Structure 1
Amino acid sequence: MELRHLRYFLMVAEELHFTRAAARLNMQQPPLSNQIRLLEKELGFELFKRHPKGVDLTTGGQVFLQEARAILNRIEEGSKRAARAAQGLEGKLSIGFTSSTAAHPLIPGMIRAYRGLYPNVELLLSEGNAGELTDEVSFGRMDLGILRAPVSQPRGVTLYRLLDEEMLLVLPVGHRLLPAGILVNGLSPEAIDAMPVIALGDLADESFILVRRHGAPGMYANLLEACEHAGFTPKIAFEIERMLTNINLVAAGAGISVVPASMRSFHRHSVVYCRIGEASPPLVAPITLIARTEDQEPTRQNFIELAQELGRQFRREQPPCP
């Protein structure tokens, strides 16, 4: 049985006349009658009662009519959904992000914009560190990752650098390097230009709190290189899993840390965010989208294109990193 047999049957059932049905199908009446006979033979029962003025549906034909319509409707709907999926308008998309990238306004704006453009794509969102997300994407267990740039590009993975974000030093309130009266109404300044500037070389005797190397390999390597260039190897007191924990531990007086500028709203009553001077290479935290190079699924490509465009818009609206 072929789909055309169902369509032939539906046309005859609508017209209750072979000649009129054949005309609507742009075919001759004898071939149409023959196809219906073959269909009846395959089913094992008659679909129509023939009489001189036309045909009527048999009881079996009436039941088969309902099923044939349902089948063709399902096929039509399935074809439409498949076409939408081929354009990235339907389906599923799994995206992982790090806690520090999620704090940047670009990311929630990106998710919101994608949902608005592609409401029938189910987004599966999760959090992890940079190493975990890179592995998940590399092995095909996740579609896309949003993270700080890794040290090197993994094989089979494409990196899309969306923007660079300035890194800030985080010191506990009352730290020896802070100027007096830095708090305003009990809070440290949130505006970048109002923050004190501290030279990286002045931190040689400090204890650092960092996200462990596998969790943020790019930022870890960037900081170590800049410190070495400033003439010292940083003393690392703690390596933890999530960047927000860095700030919590600084607030507790356990050491100092560096975080992306977008995290500067946390704990402003107990820590002070400072700009870092004299760093080479410059301490920046790129926001990077990663995807498997060979994976060209439309849902992924649509998200990548949107992310790149929003990244360009954000760079135009924000001052560049120093």
Structure 2
Amino acid sequence: MELRHLRYFVVVAEEGHFTRAAERLGMQQPPLSQQIRALEQELGFELFRRHPKGAALTAGGETFLQEARAILENVDAAVARAARASSGTVGRLSVGFTSSAAAHPFIPQVMRAYRDAWPEVVLEFREGNAAELTDALVQDKLDVAFLRRPVSRPDGLSFERLLEEELLLVLPVGHPALPRERSRRRPAVPLAALRDERFILVRRNGAPGMYANLVEACVQAGFVPNVAIEVERMLTNISLVAAGAGVSAVPASMQGFHGENVVYCAIQDAPPALAAPLTLAWRDDSQRPTLRHFIELARKAPA
């Protein structure tokens, strides 16, 4: 039994006449009659009582008509849903982000634009550090992620830098390296002034991430930084600086946190490597149209 047999049957039932049904279907009457006969033989009972004026449904035919219509409606609905999923109109998309990436206004801007453009796509969110999100992409547990500087570049993943911003030092209020009088102008502090400080960093040991570059810049400034505390998430490092536990560095978009207890400073004569990038990562082999739309939108969004 094929779907066309069900469609033929429904049209004949609606017309009550084989010739009119054939005309509606755009086919000859004899082949239509043969198809209905074949369907009846397969079912094991007659669907119609033939008479000179046309055809009337049997009791079995009346029941089968209800079921045939339901089957065809379900198939049509399934085709429509599949077509929408194929075009990316509906579906799911899992998005990961680091806490520092999420602090940048670009991220909510992209999320809102995507929701507006594709309101029926269900967005699922996951927060983690760059290493965790990279591993989740490799394991196909995540579709796309916003990172800062990648800590690794496994085969099968793509990384695209969307923008860059300044990396700022975070010092507690009253730190000796700061000007005595606070002003609206952001102070600039050389790294060498922090040679005796306890650094609070967010990094994966041995990984070439954003803070690994900060450590290298300190070495170039003539000292090896005392990395006293390593934390899993940004914001934690800012809170610890506010508590007087040491100094740290964050992307400029995070400078609104704990403003009464910390001072955000430019890095005097900062090397280019100390910029804080925002990077989009995804699996190369993903064929999901929802992901394709997301990448296209993120590329076009104003930074």
Question: TM-score, length-normalised on structure 1?
Answer: 0.91
Q: Confirm whether residue 60 of structure 1 aligns to residue 60 of structure 2.
A: yes
Superposed CA deviations along residues 231-274 of structure 1, whole A, max 9, x for unmatched, are: 11111110011110000000000000001111111000111111
Q: Secondary structure at the match of 1:85?
A: helix
> Given the alignment, which residue of 263, 283, 308 partners 2:254?
263
Q: Secondary structure at the match of 1:243?
A: coil
Distance 1:221 1:273 in 2: 20
Shift of 1:112: 0.8
Q: Which amino acid aligns with 1:11?
A: V
* TM-fit CA distance, 1:151: 4.1
3-state SS of paired residue (2:229): strand
Q: Which residue of 2 aligns with 1:103?
A: 103
1:159 matched residue in structure 2: 159
Are the equivalent residues in 1 in contact too, given 2:131–2:151 (CA < 8 A)? no
Distance 2:126 2:6 in 1: 46
Code of the residue aligned with 1:76 in structure 2: it is D
8 Å CA contact 1:131–1:217 kept in 2: the answer is: no
Q: CA deviation at 1:215?
A: 11
How far residue 152 of structure 1 moved from its aligned partner, in angstroms, is 4.3
Partner of residue 197 from structure 2, selected from 198, 203, 206: 206
Match of 1:318 in 2: none
- Counterpart position of 1:143: 143
Matches within 5 A, 1:70-85: 70-85=70-85
Give the TM-score normalised by structure 2. 0.96
The two structures, once aligned, show a CA RMSD in angstroms of 1.5
Aligned position for 1:293: 284
Does the CA contact (< 8 Å) of 1:148 and 1:216 recur in 2? no
In the alignment, structure 1 segments of 5+ residues that lack a partner are: 184-188, 315-322
Distance 1:216 1:102, change over 3 A: farther
- For residues 165 and 16 of structure 2, what CA distance do their matches in structure 1 show? 72
Give the conservation status (yes or no) of the 8 Å contact 1:132–1:215.
no
Aligned to 2:232: 241
Alpha-carbon displacement from aligned partner over 1:262-303 (angstroms, at most 9, x marks no partner): 111100011111111112244111111101112232111110
Match of 2:187 in 1: 196
Whether the 8 Å CA contact 1:160–1:308 is kept in 2: the answer is: no
Answer yes or no: is the 8 Å Cα contact 1:226–1:281 preserved in 2: no
Name the CA distance, whole Å, in 1 between partners of 2:141 and 2:40.
Answer: 49
CA contact (8 A) 2:131 2:152 kept: no
**Match status 1:20 vs 2:56:** no
Does the CA contact (< 8 Å) of 2:93 and 2:291 recur in 1?
A: yes
> For the residues of structure 2 that align with 1:261 and 1:124, how far apart are their CA atoms?
27
In structure 2, relative to structure 1, the CA distance for the partners of 1:216 and 1:257 (3 Å cut) is farther
Kindly provide the amino acid, as one letter, of the partner of residue 49 in structure 2: K
After the TM superposition, which parts of structure 1 deviate over 3 Å for at least 4 consecutive aligned residues? 214-217
The answer for the alignment partner of 1:11 in structure 2 is 11
Please give the per-residue CA displacement for 1:76-103, whole angstroms capped at 9, x wherever unaligned. 1211221111111111111111111111
Aligned partners of 1:266 and 1:46: how far apart in 2?
Answer: 78
Q: 1:278 aligns with which of 269, 276, 286?
A: 269
SS at match of 1:145: strand
Distance 1:214 1:86, change over 3 A: farther
Q: Deviations over 1:175-229 (max 9, x none)?
A: 111112316xxxxx5xxxx210111221111110011326985112211121111
The question of whether the paired residues in 1 share the 8 Å contact of 2:203 and 2:209 is answered with no
Specify the alignment match of 2:176 in structure 1: 176
